[in-house]
Amino acid sequence: MTYEFLVASSIGVLVAGGIYLALRARTFQVVLGLTLISYAVNLFLFASGRLVLNRPPIWDKSVADYTDPLPQALVLTAIVITFGMTAFVVIVALRSFLETGSDHVDGDAVPTDGAEETGE
């Protein structure tokens, strides 16, 4: 039971942090938030095949119980896609900052010297 509790609560904390950061105004925080959300989603997908300890995913003569191999394949696909997309959003955010002089997600011009507190 503790194992399930640990996985479930870590997914919950990651999602909560991710949503908070994704709602912030600046692109860097939003990217971090999206990364946290994607970690949580990957953990969640991994757990969707039920949590099984010390069991192989591949057929073996000497083993009777297995862990579900499909979620692991799905997670691999999801990791590759979200990793690529995170890299892409970083580049787009950077280009947007360099071209518009603003690192706000809504693209409004704001002073970017850090003189004032942001995200209020």
Would you tell me which residues interact with another protein (CB under 8 A)? 22, 27, 30, 34, 37-38, 41, 44-45, 47-50, 70-71, 74, 77-78, 81-82, 84-86, 88-89, 92-93, 95-96, 99-100, 105-107
* Token couple for 26: 């600046």
Of 62 and 98, nearer to another protein (C-beta) is: 98
Name every residue whose Cβ is closer than 8 Å to that of residue 10 and which is 6 or more positions away in sequence.
43
CA angle 105, 118, 38 (to 5 degrees): 50
- In sequence order, the β-bridge partners of residue 104 are 26
Of 48 and 62, nearer to another protein (C-beta) is: 48
Of 50 and 61, nearer to another protein (C-beta) is: 50
Q: Dihedrals φ, ψ of 102, to 5°? A: -135, 135
Least Å from the CB of residue 56 to another protein: 19
